[in-house]
């Protein structure tokens, strides 16, 4: 079968800048707390804080990658923004319209514009229906008759995703995993959506097929002008397709950055740990020793998340401020927001707080020495680079970043390389 046929469409010239594009999706303070009920009376005894205050926006035509370990709330976030779940708090706006609490009938017209692709192509397709019925179902549900009829349109969609249109009458079991995911993609595209939320679209697939499906999504985006939110637990999946990446930890975004910035100089220690877990073919690192950061234990329970910075129980940089004060997600560098008191590759945001917590010392034992040394070095080097970049414009004495952090009690010294080097050095010696 024609499963892995790639759809190649030339890249579009002079794309508008991201900032000039329409904000398609805007999420403010988004929360989902699943109640925990007990006893005969089903009284609520607690809640799973699956998503606990997300703020981000997605602009038309861009791809936002969302990554994080299992259980950090990625899927719940995906279901909230597609309104398959009702948020507990916060706001979801689509094209400027508040859709947070729209009911079934209110959501109906929007269902055309927002579609979801699911992780498991085996369970998401009804085995008793032909792929013609499956891909044509959205037309039936929405009462839409495409030009030329449903069959013709379904066959067109099948060929768009690289499947043989002649296989219209076949059943899902006759297809491989990669082909089934293509069927799922064809179904999601049927109504010509604006936003597609793909929840781990390739993680159930064989590694050899993953790249083909990711490339297909990429090609379709260019051809159809789609906007994606792609959820993955693995940074390698989102690396090549995302414009920006949000890193989630225990229901929160800890870092949200332009893809290149994130890979070049991750700021949150959690991002750095996630990245070090993925072998990245980087020629500059080919002679480097193993830089793996092993994270201690599992993600803590979202029923009672840790105080302050939720990552402090596993972070090798955690100090008292991390335990007591929740860091705010702020734009420390243009295009890079981070919620951390002691970011990597940047000036310390709480330089006065240098005594490591006991858990941090334990966590540091799992971090390779090279990483700890590199942490100190790169922070100094990047801060120096930032300082020299900022020295180039006409006002060489102006040290401020374009966007000011909103945290008023945390005065930052983003461009002071010696401060970073000193703080990082202090931390290293503290260990
Ligand atoms: N319907 C539900 N009722 C109660 N708790 C839930 C429900 N759905 C998800 N959770 C919990 O919310 C937390 C976040 O789950 P979610 O599936 O969103 O995480 P995830 O990052 O997508 O993980 P995975 O990659 O394993 O799917 C988990 O602790 C999960 O057990």
Q: Looking at the chain, which residues constitute the CATH 3.40.50.300 domain(s)?
A: 18-128+185-245
Give the residue from 316, 342, 359, 364 showing the smallest Cα distance to 423: 342
Q: Return the pLDDT at 284.
A: 56
Quote the mean pLDDT of the chain: 82
Give the residue from 376, 233, 360 showing the smallest Cα distance to 308: 360
Q: Decide: 134 and 168 in contact? Cβ < 8 Å.
A: no
Token readout for 329 is: 């997600």
Q: Decide: 197 and 231 in contact? Cβ < 8 Å.
A: yes
CA of 50 to the centre of ligand 1 (A): 6
Binned at pLDDT 50, 70 and 90, residue 8 comes out as very low
Give the residue, out of 54, 76, 197, with the most ligand 1 atoms within 8 A of its beta carbon, to mutate for a pocket test: 76
Token readout for 160 is: 């768009």
> Ligand 1 within 6 A of 68 CB?
yes
Q: Return the pLDDT at 419.
A: 35
Give the residue, out of 50, 52, 299, with the most ligand 1 atoms within 8 A of its beta carbon, to mutate for a pocket test: 50
CA of 52 to the centre of ligand 1 (A): 12
High-pLDDT (> 90) share of the chain, %: 50
Residue 330 has pLDDT above 90, yes or no: yes
Q: Would you give the distance in Å from CA 38 to the centre of its chain?
A: 34
Q: Return the pLDDT at 383.
A: 57
> Ligand 1 within 6 A of 85 CB?
no
CA of 75 to the centre of ligand 1 (A): 7
ipTM, two decimals: 0.97
Residue ID of nearest Cα to ligand 1 atom 12 = 50
d(CA 154, CA 253): 38
The pLDDT of 142-147, averaged and rounded, is: 87
Half-sphere exposure in the Cβ direction for 355 (13 Å, CA): 2
> Ligand 1 within 6 A of 87 CB?
no
Half-sphere exposure in the Cβ direction for 192 (13 Å, CA): 5
pLDDT in tens, 282-310: 555 555 545 677 777 778 999 999 999 99
Q: Decide: 266 and 278 in contact? Cβ < 8 Å.
A: no
Token readout for 76 is: 């719940």
Give the residue, out of 48, 49, 69, 81, with the most ligand 1 atoms within 8 A of its beta carbon, to mutate for a pocket test: 48
Residue 414 has pLDDT above 80, yes or no: no
Give the residue, out of 36, 69, 75, 203, with the most ligand 1 atoms within 8 A of its beta carbon, to mutate for a pocket test: 75
**Ligand 1, closest atom to CA 200?**
25
CA of 263 to the centre of ligand 1 (A): 27
**Ligand 1, closest atom to CA 79?**
18
Residue 280 has pLDDT above 70, yes or no: no
> Ligand 1 within 6 A of 76 CB?
yes
Residue 404 has pLDDT above 70, yes or no: no
Neighbours of 292 (CB within 10 A): 16
Give the residue from 401, 412, 407 showing the smallest Cα distance to 350: 412
CA distances from 421 to 123, 333, 340, 344, 417 (A): 52, 18, 17, 11, 6
pLDDT in tens, 69-91: 989 999 999 999 999 999 999 99
Specify the range with the lowest mean pLDDT, choosing from 21-30, 48-57, 242-251, 390-399: 390-399
Neighbours of 82 (CB within 10 A): 23
Token readout for 423 is: 């703080």
**Ligand 1, closest atom to CA 248?**
21
CA of 30 to the centre of ligand 1 (A): 15
Name every residue whose Cβ is closer than 8 Å to that of residue 345 and which is 6 or more positions away in sequence. 265, 266, 267, 378, 379, 382
> Ligand 1 within 6 A of 34 CB?
yes
What CATH code would you report for 18-128+185-245?
A: 3.40.50.300
Residue 146 has pLDDT above 80, yes or no: yes
């Amino acid at each position: 079968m024609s499963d892995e046929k790639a759809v190649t469409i030339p890249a579009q010239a002079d794309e508008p800048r991201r900032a000039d594009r329409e904000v398609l999706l805007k999420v403010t303070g988004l929360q989902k707390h699943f109640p925990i009920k007990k006893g005969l009376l089903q009284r609520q005894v607690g809640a799973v804080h699956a998503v606990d205050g997300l703020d981000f926006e997605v602009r038309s035509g861009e791809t936002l990658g969302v990554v994080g370990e299992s259980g950090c709330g990625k899927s719940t976030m995906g279901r909230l923004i597609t309104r398959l779940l009702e948020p507990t708090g916060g706001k979801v706006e689509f094209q400027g319209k508040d859709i947070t609490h729209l009911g079934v009938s209110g959501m109906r017209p929007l269902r055309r514009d927002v579609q979801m692709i699911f992780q498991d192509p085996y369970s998401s397709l009804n085995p008793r229906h032909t792929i013609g019925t499956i891909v044509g179902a959205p037309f039936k549900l929405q009462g839409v008759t495409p030009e030329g009829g449903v069959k013709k349109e379904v066959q067109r969609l099948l060929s768009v995703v690289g499947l043989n249109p002649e296989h219209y009458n076949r059943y899902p079991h006759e297809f491989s995993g990669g082909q089934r995911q293509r069927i799922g993609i064809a179904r999601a595209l049927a109504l010509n959506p604006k936003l597609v939320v793909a929840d781990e679209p390739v993680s159930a697939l064989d590694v050899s097929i993953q790249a083909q499906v990711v490339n297909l999504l990429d090609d379709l985006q260019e051809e159809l002008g789609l906007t994606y939110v792609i959820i993955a637990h693995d940074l390698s999946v989102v690396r090549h397709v995302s414009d920006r990446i949000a890193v989630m930890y225990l229901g929160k975004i800890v870092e949200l950055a332009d893809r290149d910035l994130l890979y070049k100089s991750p700021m949150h220690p959690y991002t750095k740990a996630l990245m070090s877990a993925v072998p990245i073919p980087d020629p500059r690192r080919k002679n480097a020793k193993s830089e793996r950061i092993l994270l201690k234990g599992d993600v803590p329970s979202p029923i009672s998340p840790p105080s302050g910075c939720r990552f402090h129980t596993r972070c090798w940089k955690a100090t008292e401020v991390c335990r007591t004060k929740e860091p705010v997600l702020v734009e420390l560098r243009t295009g890079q927001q981070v919620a951390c008191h002691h970011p990597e590759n940047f000036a310390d945001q709480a330089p006065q707080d240098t005594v490591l917590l006991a858990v941090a010392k334990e966590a540091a034992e799992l971090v390779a020495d090279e990483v700890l040394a590199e942490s100190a070095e790169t922070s100094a080097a990047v801060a120096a680079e930032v300082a020299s970049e900022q020295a180039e414009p006409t006002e060489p004495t102006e040290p401020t970043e374009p966007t000011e952090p909103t945290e008023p009690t945390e005065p930052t010294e983003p461009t002071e390389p010696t401060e970073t080097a000193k703080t990082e050095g202090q931390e290293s010696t503290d260990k």
